[in-house]
Structures are given as structure tokens and as C-alpha cells.
């Protein structure tokens, strides 16, 4: 999930429903330095090996727009398949997801979270207000037990970073991450652990100075 934050593809959501991702791909086509496109009415086969592939997984894409807060269900079909292939002098059998695409873009194989009990109250995070706001800081909610990360939006009226979800698992473990830039080379990073319940309608994160490399190392742990 940390890689998604690094690449600014952070919203594991579709229509206010949280997604648990099986894999996020960016597909592009090039020959040398030349960017290529798929011929009209042509399809490109994508195979994603996954031994524990789920029949409930759905293919989402970016709809040709930058991923900010929402994915959309892809118009392309996806199926569970197995493949025979020859490599390194041996016959191999693999299995996973197979789908077809018509062009470059972001694709997300994901399941919609279906918790037994949902927490429907807003989740809000406060940073020290004298230094941090929505112009210099990003805040993310990472669900530790699921492959999902979602950004929190700045509420300028409350001066809090908030979000509401219709299927947030109650009592799930979460990590709050904040990343701030206060000027050239002045980076601040904060993190806090939380359990999603009525006791954390407002969470507090206190960022500390970190180098860009330190922040990337930490995000690589997720």
C-alpha cells in the first residue's frame, strides 16, 4: 500500500465503498522512447498470477481520468484462468486473473469490503494547526488487515482531515499516515495507530522532520 501513496494512486474506493485490492497495475505500451497505442478494436490480454484468486474480485479502471478519490467498474470482463507455459527448460502451470484491455491506464483487481459490522461515523485526523493544513499536507488511512489505503480530505471549516465510508470495518486496526512539505527539502512525517470505533472520531497525529528517503523507506514497509 505504501507504493500506492508514493505513486499518488491512493483511493481504494468506488462510490464511497472501500475496496481491498488484489493488485494494482499501470499498463502502458512503448518501443524504445516511442509511446505506442493499441489499434482500434484490438484487445490486449493481461494475466495476473494469483494462486488464491477470488471469484468475487472485480476489475476496476481509471476511466481515462487521474485516480484521485474513486475507481470505476471496468467495462472489460475478467475471469479466473490457468495457463500452461514453457520456461527455463520446464513446463509450468500457473493460475490467476485474466482480462482484456483496449489501452493504457490504471487497473485494479479488488474486492469490495463486506464487514460484519460497519463503522459509519466520520473518521477525522488533526495535525498541529499552526503549521499544517490541506495546502501542505496529505493524510491517509491504511487498514492494516486489508489491502487498502484511502486519503482523507481537508475540512477547512473544522480544520481536520476527514472521510466517511459506508463499509468501514468496525474495530479494525488502522494506521494513520501524514506527509507534509513545509518548503524546499523540509519534509514532515507522522504516523499513529488506531482501532476503528467510537473512541477515535478525532485522531491526533504529530508530524516530525524526516528526509525524503526516510519517508520512502517507511512507506515501503506497508
Phi, psi of 219 (to 5 degrees): -65, -30
pTM of the model: 0.79
Q: How confident is the model at residue 164 (pLDDT cuts 50, 70, 90)?
A: confident
Sign of CA dihedral 19, 220, 144, 174: negative
Total structural domains in the chain? Answer: 2
Q: How confident is the model at residue 71 (pLDDT cuts 50, 70, 90)?
A: confident
Q: Are 122 and 35 in contact (CB under 8 A)?
A: no
91 and 138 together in one domain: no
99 and 6 together in one domain: yes
Task: Please enumerate in sequence order all residues whose Cβ is within 8 A of that of 56, keeping only pairs 6 or more positions apart, or say none.
Answer: 111
In the prediction, which pLDDT does 93 show?
84
Please report, for the domain that includes residue 185, its CATH number.
Answer: 2.60.40
The arrangement of strands across the sheet holding 90-101 comes to: 44-49, 90-101, 78-87
In the prediction, which pLDDT does 120 show?
77
DSSP readout, 12-55? -EETTEEEEEEEEEEE--EETTEE--PPTT--EEEEEE-TT--T
Decide which of 25 and 10 is more confident.
Answer: 25
Question: Average pLDDT of 165-185?
Answer: 89
6 and 67 together in one domain: yes
Residue numbers of the domain that contains 104? 2-112
pLDDT digits (tens, 9 = 90+) for 119-152: 878 889 999 988 999 999 999 998 888 878 888 9
Q: How far is CA 187 from the centre of its chain?
A: 22
In the prediction, which pLDDT does 191 show?
93
Q: The C-alpha cell of 52 is what?
A: 488464491
In the prediction, which pLDDT does 128 show?
93
Amino acid at each position: 500500500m505504501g507504493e500506492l501513496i508514493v505513486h499518488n494512486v491512493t483511493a481504494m474506493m468506488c462510490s464511497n465503498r472501500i475496496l481491498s485490492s488484489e493488485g494494482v497495475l499501470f499498463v502502458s505500451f512503448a518501443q524504445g522512447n516511442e509511446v505506442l497505442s493499441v489499434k482500434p478494436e484490438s484487445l490486449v490480454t493481461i494475466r495476473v498470477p494469483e494462486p488464491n484468486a477470488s471469484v468475487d474480485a472485480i476489475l476496476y479502471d481509471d476511466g481515462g481520468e487521474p485516480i484521485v478519490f474513486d475507481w470505476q467498474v471496468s467495462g472489460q470482463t475478467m475471469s479466473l484462468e490457468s495457463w500452461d507455459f514453457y520456461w527455463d527448460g520446464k513446463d509450468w502451470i500457473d493460475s490467476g486473473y485474466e482480462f482484456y484491455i483496449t489501452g493504457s491506464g490504471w487497473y485494479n483487481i479488488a474486492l469490495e469490503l463486506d464487514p460484519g459490522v460497519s463503522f459509519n461515523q466520520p473518521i477525522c485526523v488533526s495535525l498541529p494547526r499552526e503549521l499544517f493544513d490541506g495546502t501542505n499536507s496529505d493524510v491517509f488511512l491504511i487498514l492494516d488487515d486489508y489491502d487498502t489505503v484511502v486519503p482523507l480530505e481537508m475540512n477547512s471549516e473544522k480544520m481536520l482531515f476527514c472521510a466517511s465510508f459506508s463499509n468501514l470495518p468496525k474495530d479494525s486496526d488502522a494506521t494513520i499516515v501524514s506527509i507534509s512539505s513545509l518548503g524546499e527539502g523540509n519534509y514532515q512525517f507522522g504516523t499513529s495507530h488506531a482501532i476503528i470505533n467510537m473512541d477515535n472520531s478525532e485522531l491526533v497525529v504529530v508530524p516530525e522532520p524526516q528526509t525524503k528517503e526516510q519517508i520512502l523507506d517507511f512507506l515501503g514497509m506497508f
